[in-house]
Amino acid sequence: MDETWHTKRAVSGVRPGDHALLPYGDLEERDRVMGTYVDDALTGNEKVVYVTDAPADRLPGLRPRTRARLDRYTRSRQLVVLSRADACLDARGRFAPGRLLDTLGREVGSTDAEGFRATRWTTDFSWMLDGRPLDVAAMLGCEHRLGDTVGPSAVAMAICQIDRRVCPPAQYAALRDTHEVLVEVDPRFDDGNLKIVQTFRPAGLRLEGELDHARHHVFEDELARVARLPGAVHLDLARLAFLDLGSLHLMAGLAADRTADAPLVLDDLPPGVLNIIEMVGWHRLPGLVQGRTAGFPNGGTR
């Protein structure tokens, strides 16, 4: 777990002052997060400033209701879609951090006058990694200044998107360190005792808290949903404090129905849970495979 010292926040929990990073693993993950981010703003009297070269009706994850009212939102400037050329490039098409920060400052500054409660900024920086040399220093400097603008603000919040698949590890690590918050999809389930979050790379679920009979039905439903995915399905159990035998049996039953090349992989098994599984015997749980342990790959595919 290399990201534990960051605040990990579900997208619905993003709040003013957050300068967040969305390191998405696939487009479904990005669309799910951005759809919620945009929709929550538009239904909550907040402004969205989206820097992208895509037209407004092609924004990632747009919900049908938002799409139907797109003209109204753009006319009222509750949804502001700015091209990269207008927002953050200089006359020669190069990334101009100063211009980006000016644009952000201007849009945040007009929030109150335009009658909105807050301004949500977002852009996807992955285009900067698209085969061209990246001015890392300029980018990180920009992120620091972006954080300095958003951090103390009572009305501004920002999500910087980055495609993890195209971002080299060293650059990702540097980029991550300029953000205080990592944003992720809203949990599929969270009742205070158990949280179930869909994961995308690797595909599967992250379980946090305690899983027992009281939550078998929701777990079974979520497990069945991800089990339809092709290939290995991973369960991230690093923050699972308790797993009952019924849940283990549910996992084993589902795993037994899968093919050998599509196992159910248990990542970061806490020692207490591992102890129970070893007592029962891995050989009695065919299809269940121990994956990554303590953050180090061990048959996992992250």
- Interaction site with another protein (CB under 8 A): 193, 210, 212-214, 216, 220, 242-246, 248-250, 252-253, 256, 272, 275-276, 279-281, 283-284, 286
Residue number with CB closer to another protein (85 or 245): 245
Structure tokens at 67: 């799409």
Shortest CB 278 distance to another protein, Å = 10
Residue closer to another protein, measured from CB, 114 or 257? 257
CA–CA distance, 19 with 108 (Å, rounded to integer): 14
Interatomic CA distance for residues 199 and 208, integer angstroms = 13
- Calculate the alpha carbon distances from 122 to 125, 150, 202, 257, 298 in Å: 10, 12, 25, 42, 36
Give the C-alpha separation, 31 to 21, whole Å: 14
End-to-end CA distance of the chain: 11
Contact 233, 257 (CB under 8 A): no
255, 23, 189, 236 alpha-carbon torsion, rounded to 10°? 40
Rounded to a whole number of angstroms, the minimum distance from the CB of residue 194 to another protein is 9
Closest by CA position to 28, among listed 237, 201, 233: 201
Shortest spacing between CB 268 and another protein, in angstroms: 17
Q: What's the closest the beta carbon of residue 199 comes to another protein, in angstroms? A: 24
Nearest-angstrom CA–CA distance, 119 and 101: 14
For residues 101 and 274, which CB has a smaller minimum distance to another protein in the complex? 274
Query: Is the Cβ of residue 26 or residue 191 nearer to another protein in the bound state?
Result: 191
When the beta carbons of 94 and 213 are compared against another protein, the nearer one is 213
- Closest to another protein by CB, 81 vs 243, is 243
Indicate the DSSP class of residue 156.
Answer: E
Give the nearer residue to another protein in terms of CB position, either 157 or 240.
240
Question: Which residue type sits at 296?
Answer: F
The residues near 132 (Cβ < 8 Å, ≥ 6 apart) are none
At its nearest, how many Å lie between another protein and the CB of residue 214? 6
Query: How near is the Cβ of 224 to another protein at its closest, in Å?
Result: 13
Residue located via tokens 């993950």: 29
Shortest distance (Å) from residue 215 CB to another protein: 9
Helix (H) or strand (E) holding 220: helix 216-227
